[in-house]
């Protein structure tokens, strides 16, 4: 069911300024003196930690969908890594993602892909999205947790502390690449899951929406690009369901399970996959 909306949504100036500053500061990477292989290596390492371990493994598959369980301390570590991705508080991120799945490609979907590539990639964040008012209803399991509240209010201070540590390690080049360039790359790669995987790729399952499996998004996002599979089996800890669909996050979950750190791992029935 969709609801027609015609009212103009006012801009979210705080988010616009925040995104503008990060993208502007990332341009300082074009200054030759700000480049070093060490800075590039730090950026790549933090990309893996924040996008792969934090967002994909922690925010998404562990907490948003509860597709497996880990000890609470490990959950907090993964959520902290996700907070370092600078994509807002874990409470807001997880709440909006749960809303997206309930109303995928409908008017209540925060980043409804039917409104166009720009909207689903970026535009939905730059306005006072009506979905924000529904977040509390979808996050009762985490909104009262003190650690989640700490990350909710401490995202920017945590990032500033990381910037200070990087400056101590390698000067301004480590800050430019490890904070600003890394954040821009993490932002857009993650956003491609909302935009590109609803426009490019192939459909394996009838998921009731426009979600598609896109190999290059899966490559950039540690397996999140197998989006049609995910929408068909939202609870599944594994997104790449074919041998050719490489899913690095699923490998991480298997590794945690091997060391008995992940349990109650949810997978779709084999009959459903074959069908």
Task: Supply the DSSP symbol for 142.
Answer: T
Identify the pLDDT of residue 270.
82
Task: Give the pTM.
Answer: 0.93
Q: What is residue 30's three-state secondary structure?
A: helix
Contact 181, 29 (CB under 8 A): yes
Q: What is residue 212's three-state secondary structure?
A: coil
CA distance 275 to 273: 5
- For 40, residues 6+ apart whose C-beta sits below 8 A from its C-beta are 177
Crossing angle of helices 72-83 and 146-170, in 10° steps, is: 60
pLDDT tens track, the chain, 275 positions? 344 444 578 999 999 999 999 999 999 999 999 999 999 999 999 999 999 999 999 999 999 999 999 999 999 999 999 999 999 999 999 999 999 999 999 999 999 999 999 999 999 999 999 999 999 999 999 999 999 999 999 999 999 999 999 999 999 999 999 999 999 999 999 999 999 999 999 999 999 999 999 999 999 999 999 999 999 999 999 999 999 999 999 999 999 999 999 999 999 988 777 76
């Amino acid at each position: 069911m969709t609801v027609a909306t015609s009212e103009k949504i006012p801009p979210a100036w705080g988010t616009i300024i925040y995104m503008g500053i990060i993208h502007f500061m990332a341009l300082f990477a074009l200054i030759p003196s700000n480049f070093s292989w060490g800075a590039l290596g730090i950026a790549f390492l933090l990309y893996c930690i924040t996008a792969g371990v934090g967002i994909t493994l922690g925010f998404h598959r562990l907490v948003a969908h509860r597709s497996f369980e880990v000890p609470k301390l490990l959950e907090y570590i993964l959520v902290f890594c996700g907070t370092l991705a600078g994509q807002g508080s874990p409470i807001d991120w997880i709440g909006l993602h749960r809303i997206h799945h309930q109303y995928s490609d409908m008017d209540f979907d925060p980043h409804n892909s039917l409104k166009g590539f720009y909207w689903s990639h970026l535009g939905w964040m730059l306005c006072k999205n009506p979905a924000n008012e529904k977040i509390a209803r979808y996050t009762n399991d985490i909104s009262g947790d003190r650690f989640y509240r700490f990350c909710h209010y401490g995202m920017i201070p945590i990032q500033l502390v990381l910037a200070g540590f990087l400056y101590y390690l390698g000067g301004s080049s480590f800050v430019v690449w490890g904070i600003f360039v890394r954040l821009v790359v993490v932002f857009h790669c993650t956003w491609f899951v909302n935009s590109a995987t609803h426009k490019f790729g192939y459909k394996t399952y009838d998921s009731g929406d426009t979600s598609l499996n896109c190999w290059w998004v899966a490559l950039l996002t540690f397996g999140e690009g197998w989006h049609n599979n995910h929408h068909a089996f939202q609870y599944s800890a594994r997104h790449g369901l074919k041998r050719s669909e490489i899913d690095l996050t699923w490998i991480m979950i298997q590794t945690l399970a091997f060391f008995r750190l992940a349990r109650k791992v949810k997978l779709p029935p084999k009959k459903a996959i074959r069908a």
